[in-house]
Copies of this chain bind each other. A is one copy, B any other.
Amino acid sequence: MRKTNRYAWLLALSMPMAAMAQEKVDLEMMKKIREEGLQRSQVMDIAFNLTDKSGNRLTNSAGYARAANYAKEALTSWGVSNATLDPWGEFGKGWDLEKAYVAITAPYYKPILAWPKTWTAGTKGLKNAEIMVVEAKDTLAIQAYSGKLKNKILIIDQLNEYKHSFKADAVRYTDEQLARMAAVTPAPPNPAGPGAGPAIRGSLNVAARALNLLKAMAQKEGAIGMFTSATRNHDGTIFAQGGGAYKGSDPENFLDMALGIEDYNTILRLAKSGTPVKMDVDVKTKFQDKDLQGYNVIAEIPGTDPLLKDEIVMIGAHLDSWQTGTGATDNASGSAVMMEAMRILKTLGIQPRRTIRIGLWSGEEQGLLGSRGYVKKTFADPANMQPLPAHEKFSAYYNIDNGTGKIRGIYLQGNTECKDIFSAWLAPFNDLGATTVTISNTGGTDHQAFDGVGLPGFQFIQDPIEYDTRTHHSNMDVYDHLIADDLKQIATIVAAFTYNTAQRDAKLPRKPMPKPRN
């Protein structure tokens, strides 16, 4: 903080309070949290340990184990209790990359950055082979290649247009955008149920089926691997995710590698122009199938109020990542700020009325698996919506999973009764840019596991920065793309919300219990 602004926040504290006199806020504690969080932050050291030190954190990989054990030990070292790697159910196999070398060798030599998708097989040593262009518009087109795939490296006949970036990669929300979010009125419920998106288009289905057929044929015939790309893989930034099934009983998947569009298009143009393209490919992958369980990291600060200590406030974020970067903004950032929030609260020596618990989830990238497993065994199974005893004693869950951008407010997930409460809680942090409470939902991450069984589950509004353009599931999701000041702000506000939820006389209001899924 700059010295000239040293007391600006005090002014910010005192003003909006009058309007929301009904919601008490401990301003002295807010001040302490703020000082610890902004001036003595350890969030970047935590982030360093989760990223550079651990490597990627694909669920059940060696990197995930390093990060989870670090988190458990760090939380314990700060005095957080009962830190444990908590099994939530069967996930499947771990997968680690042990070698990836890819290069064009003819018509000239050029090294290529190519990222194998997760759970794919290797090449059994260095292979040099010719590129074969495959037209994959439907399964019929694929069948024409039957018997021709042995020892070939396959590339799909689809150029990806490079679009020059006339817009900035990184953005923050404008005041106008935030005002629009705040002005949203409750939408009618989606008749198709929560999370239902538009139907998958027929053409996508056809293409996906064609690709699956190609992979099956290629594996059977002994092709070496295949390249795929997408328009957003440009400037050396490459997005890559899963390459197939990963259950204990699933076979290894055919080697499928993500390339930057520049290299992809070069190879494709050359091959289609009649120039034979030869390439070196040497990929080695390792499957971990000794322990198929998935594990979350759970730890807590026990409650101290005799009447409320069995009640729970939770904060969390997913700890797992995809494979190409080190999941810095997706979601070491969320995990680091949640750990830092616990550290701040322990360092301040708070004795919370309710128990404060942190959950660092695995398997989020494969469908919120870790948080859903935890919720199912602890609070309620969404299949039958029969609440377990802990369901009644739960106040709220707060999640961070939208990158490195600072908090600009919070999504209510349709829980209108929390609006004034959260507005009052944000007031001491309005000067840090956190002002907006929107009735809107936001999806795609672990607060949905709680929301889905009728528990108050919230995610904060964060500045987008370059989440969609550069980091989300890409090789650029690494430590240097984090913004330290933003992470400090997030941890501070999360610690404050957590404290307020733990100390409040009543639990947070709830929406009605949803209907069972089955």
Given A99-B109, A165-B466, A262–B478 Cβ distance below 8 Å? yes
Contact present for B97 and A470 (CB under 8 Å): no
Contact present for B169 and A55 (CB under 8 Å): no
Contact present for A164 and B269 (CB under 8 Å): no
Nearest to A161 among chain B residues (CB) is: B480
A162 vs B479: C-alpha distance when bound (angstroms): 10
Interface residue? A131 (CB, 8 A) = no
Contact present for B269 and A479 (CB under 8 Å): yes
Q: Which residues of B lie under 8 Å from residue A247 when comparing CB positions? A: none
The one of B101, B167, B236 in contact with A237, judged by C-beta atoms closer than 8 angstroms, is B236
**Mask of A453-490 contacts with B, CB within 8 angstroms, 1/0:** 00000000000011000100001101111010000000
Q: Which residues of B lie under 8 Å from residue A262 when comparing CB positions? A: 476, 478-481
Nearest to A465 among chain B residues (CB) is: B164
Contact present for A235 and B108 (CB under 8 Å): no
Interface residue? A261 (CB, 8 A) = yes
Contact present for A166 and B171 (CB under 8 Å): yes
Contact present for A164 and B236 (CB under 8 Å): no
Interface residue? A98 (CB, 8 A) = yes
Contact present for A481 and B162 (CB under 8 Å): yes
Interface residue? A260 (CB, 8 A) = yes
A275 vs B98: C-alpha distance when bound (angstroms): 19
Interface residue? A385 (CB, 8 A) = no
Contact present for B235 and A476 (CB under 8 Å): yes
**Mask of A91-113 contacts with B, CB within 8 angstroms, 1/0:** 00000111111010001111101
Given A236-B238, A270-B53, A164–B111 Cβ distance below 8 Å? no
Q: Which residues of B lie under 8 Å from residue A261 when comparing CB positions? A: 480
For residue A510, give the distance in angstroms from its CB to the closest CB of chain B.
38
For residue A230, give the distance in angstroms from its CB to the closest CB of chain B.
13
A52 vs B266: C-alpha distance when bound (angstroms): 6
Q: Which residues of B lie under 8 Å from residue A170 when comparing CB positions? A: 164-166
Contact present for A166 and B166 (CB under 8 Å): no
Q: Which residues of B lie under 8 Å from residue A203 when comparing CB positions? A: none
Interface residue? A273 (CB, 8 A) = yes
**Mask of A394-411 contacts with B, CB within 8 angstroms, 1/0:** 000000000000000000
Given A235-B236, A236-B238, A480–B162 Cβ distance below 8 Å? yes
A344 vs B66: C-alpha distance when bound (angstroms): 63
Q: Which residues of B lie under 8 Å from residue A265 when comparing CB positions? A: 479-480
Q: Which residues of B lie under 8 Å from residue A171 when comparing CB positions? A: 166
Interface residue? A168 (CB, 8 A) = yes
Contact present for A101 and B98 (CB under 8 Å): no
A480 vs B163: C-alpha distance when bound (angstroms): 9
Q: Which residues of B lie under 8 Å from residue A270 when comparing CB positions? A: 52-53
A168 vs B166: C-alpha distance when bound (angstroms): 5
Interface centre among A165, A236, A465, A466 (most CB of B within 10 A): A236
- 12 further A-B contacts with Cβ under 8 Å, apart from A99-B109, A235-B476, A265-B480, are A52-B270, A55-B110, A62-B108, A97-B110, A97-B111, A99-B103, A113-B113, A164-B466, A164-B481, A166-B171, A168-B168, A235-B235
Sample 22 A-B pairs with CB under 8 A, ordered by A number: A48-B269, A55-B109, A56-B108, A63-B108, A66-B108, A99-B109, A100-B103, A100-B111, A101-B101, A164-B465, A165-B165, A165-B170, A166-B168, A168-B168, A169-B169, A169-B235, A235-B470, A236-B475, A236-B476, A261-B480, A262-B479, A269-B479
- Chain A residues with CB under 8 Å of chain B are 48, 52-56, 62-63, 66, 96-101, 103, 107-111, 113, 162, 164-171, 234-238, 260-262, 265-266, 269-270, 273, 275, 326, 465-466, 470, 475-476, 478-481, 483
